[in-house]
Chains A and B, each alone.
Chain A
Amino acid sequence: MTIQDEYRKKGWKDLPPGGIVDRPATARDYKTGTWRAFRPIRNKDKKICQNPEACLVCWILCPDAAIIRVEPNELEFDMDYCKGCGVCALECPLKAIEMEQE
């Protein structure tokens, strides 16, 4: 259980004072992907990002480092942290990414 899940179960009386988190290094547990209204998907028509010419523009520009290089030229979205900003879809020169409403 993440700390976020743990704290979500608590009412105001049981949360630690002053809005603190009572242990360190919990930022990774904070799944900013829950903020997303749109999700990026691969455009099925375009075979991209598994090919040797993957330009990595999306990988560079993603503000949340939510595009992961699983292989040198194979990319995946990390949906735990993707906030759905759409930067990758806009910037991809081959229009290989589309945004879809959650």
Chain B
Amino acid sequence: MAKAKVLGMMGDFAVAEAAKLCNPDVIAAYPITPQTIIVERLAEFVADGELDCDYICVESEHSAMSACYGASAVGARVYTATASQGLALMIEIVYITASARFPVVMTIANRALSGPINIHCDHSDAMLARDSGWIQVFAEDCQEAYDSTIQAFRIAEDKRVSLPVMNCLDGFVLSHSIEPVTTLPIEDEETLDGFLPVRDPLYKLDVDAPIAQGLLALPEFYMEIKRGQQEAHLKSIDVIKEVIQDFGDRWGRYWPVVEPYQMDDAEVAVVTIGSSTGTGRAAVDELRAEGKKVGLVKLRCFRPFPVKDIQAGLKNAGAVGVCDRSVSFGSTGPVYADMAGAMVGRSGPIVKNFIIGLGGKDITIDTFRTMYDNLYADLAKGEVEEPVEWIGVRGE
């Protein structure tokens, strides 16, 4: 009987191991920091004969996603990874892949977009693809990044979904940090013991049963096609939850789309996404030891945006701070914008936005202490004076 192993792996290695386990037919990728290790590792697996897969070395990320699109169109299981400028370069085909309803799994090792050029973590790259139609999942730690990768293939390829999935892990904070990761004890590698069957595509390019794909759609069809795309995306939340449940029932690790932490009696709460969640939990523990009733809500699945789960997760908190590791210039952080939308028409908590950790700026327990302090101050006043606060920026 196969046994789960606990291995010390940095996030990139964990993701590569998970992708290998899922047996992709095609990988088309171009290296970019801090994702490079993932595709290098996968290239090694292929070169060493450990993974039977067409590994396409392309000349750019635009070509990488184009090759992924083509491979998915003929029914292959497809994987790629990128970050920052790489995602920016491939974005044209990123949108097209989602609108064609082609499943592809792509890991983003989140890195700030230029300029100024920077290699460290924030979420501006993933948020660039926020409206692309990809499912977007953010990992808190390396174990989650590993498990999310395996879940992603099942979600993407489910016929009810048939959409590409973007798995985000914070650059360097997770991609280059070694953590204990428990691997899956798999007997039947062909189907991961039935969890991940061989892909049965919604439709595919097939010379024996031809269809036309990638067509022009003018006003009389474009909006109808987009409406269908939106429906598939919104409904995918049910499949995502089903897959999370099945994964948890099999291997004991559940990763809910929204995870409240110490929220039952919380007076103030922050909403986090990605690796800062771990720091936030530590801050909650410290503040709770000091008698402050603070809580945290981790948002794991950002697209589709789980409106009902987030509303339920906030319980009775009086003031909620939404952390964004990116900003929509001229407006607010993107997570906050969705959260504010989820609150419209509800008598709920005071909601404000914290912009934190841009370009790899450290997010520490003190960052969270400042945010909780400010939330308590707002709660006492009963209103938010500064709806968007930049925390940890010099001169503020």
Contacts and interface: CB of A to CB of B under 8 A. Distances in A.
Interface stretch (B52-60, B109-117, B220-228, B247-255): B220-228
Contacts of A13: 228, 231
Contacts of B101: 17-18
Contact of B212 (A8, A11, A15, A21): A21
A21 B99 contact: no
A52 interface: no
B203 A15 contact: no
Give the size category of B's interface with A.
20 to 34
A19 B211 contact: no
Interface in B208-236: 210-215, 217, 220-221, 223-225, 227-228, 231-232
Interface in A26-80: 26-27
Nearest to A22: B211
Main secondary structure of the interface of A (DSSP, over half): loop
A8 B203 contact: no
B220 A19 contact: no
A8 B202 contact: no
A16 interface: yes
A88 to B, nearest CB: 24
B198 interface: no
A17 B100 CA distance: 8
Sorting the interface of chain A by its residue count into under 10, 10 to 19, 20 to 34 or 35 or more gives: 10 to 19
Given A16-B203, A18-B202, A19-B99, A24 B210 contact: yes
Contact of A20 (B211, B220, B227, B232): B211
A23 B217 contact: no
A23 B213 CA distance: 10
B228 A23 contact: no
Nearest to A3: B212
A17 B203 contact: yes
9 contacts: A12-B227, A17-B203, A18-B101, A18-B102, A19-B215, A20-B203, A21-B211, A22-B211, A26-B212
Given A20-B212, A23-B212, A26-B212, 7 more contacts: A12-B223, A15-B228, A18-B162, A19-B213, A21-B211, A21-B215, A23-B211
Interface of B: 99-102, 162, 202-203, 210-215, 217, 220-221, 223-225, 227-228, 231-232
Interface of A: 7-8, 10-13, 15-27
